[in-house]
Amino acid sequence: MSLIPSKFSKLVHSMISRIVKNLFLSFKMSSNSSERCYIDRRQINPAAERNKEPILDILRQYMISPQTTPPVHQVLLEISSGSGQHVSYLAKHFQWITFQPTEFELSSFESIIGYTQYEQLENVKPPLYLDVRDPACSWLGGNVKKESIDYVLNINMMHISEYKCAEGLFAGCSEVLKPGGLLFTYGPYAFDGKITPESNVRFDTMLRSQDSSWGLRDLTRQLVPLARRCGIRLVQVHAMPANNHLVIWQKAPES
């Protein structure tokens, strides 16, 4: 019983700080009229806010600035950028990489642009439409060259979309990634037919009740064989907060 007042006050405190933060962001950006319309449309996805830093910490191990003169230009394609919180946060920390955000939902574009403008990022391109089920030759309006991408990032998509999206992701990466290029996928997974802990089981049930084609993908039984058929191997699985995993995949290097 004694926990109730403290839980309640925490909830009120978090609601107030969120409202104040939003007011502050709107006020700050409304001082720059040329950016106002986009900045005010930034969406805040609380899960992205929580997981962006742990994701950055792991990606630092894989995105190493090339020590060459002149510096090698690298490109990261993000599939399903959502609000744009990840692309803007990561782009700040990996300045030598050009980020291409993409979305299937056109309504997210304004938020992605809003974050890019707010952070004044020069290494983030405007978002482009991408349906991951389409053949890779038509991605980005047919303007993505075969084997031209260094990294592909895909966060929290495979379980909230039909399995065709997972198939399209690996098939597309086998086309667009350079030999040796990396694919990063993040989310909750099943392993060898099992989902743990109980909260992930409930999450999976909730997803499937919402749409029978959704649900946690099995890393061992579904995704590793799927990736292998596309010439992509599993490199590493990192356990992440809230029972998620960040999975590192690599397209076969040139033989």
Report the site for ligand SAM in 87-146 (rule: CB under 6 A).
103-105, 130-133
Please state, in angstroms and as integers, the Cα–Cα distance from residue 150 to each residue in 61, 109, 170, 176, 246, following that order. 15, 23, 15, 9, 18
Q: Identify which of 42, 175, 57 has the alpha carbon closest to the alpha carbon of residue 116.
A: 42
Q: Which stretch binds ligand SAM (CB under 6 A): 22-30, 75-83, 142-150, 170-178?
A: 75-83
Distance CA 153, CA 87 (A): 9
Q: Is 55 in the site for ligand SAM (CB under 6 A)?
A: no
Kindly tell me which residue out of 56, 160, 226, 252 binds ligand SAM, with binding defined by CB under 6 A.
Answer: 160
Applying CB under 6 A, does 74 fall inside the site for ligand SAM? no
Nearest partner of 38 among 134, 124, 100, 113, judged by Cα: 113
Q: Which residue is nearest to ligand SAM (CB)?
A: 82
CB of 152 to ligand SAM, least distance (A): 12
- What tokens appear for 251 in the block? 């397209």
- Does 232 contact ligand SAM by CB under 6 A? no
Tokens standing for 183? 């694919």
Q: Is 183 in the site for ligand SAM (CB under 6 A)?
A: no
Residue 58 touching ligand SAM (CB under 6 A): no
* Whole-angstrom distance, CA of residue 12 vs CA of residue 18: 10
Residue number, 16 or 206, with CB nearest to ligand SAM: 206
Kindly write down the DSSP assignment for every residue of 177-203, as one continuous string.
EEEEEEEEEEE-EEBTTB--SHHHHHH
Residues that bind ligand SAM (CB under 6 A): 45, 48, 79-83, 103-105, 130-133, 155-157, 160-161, 165
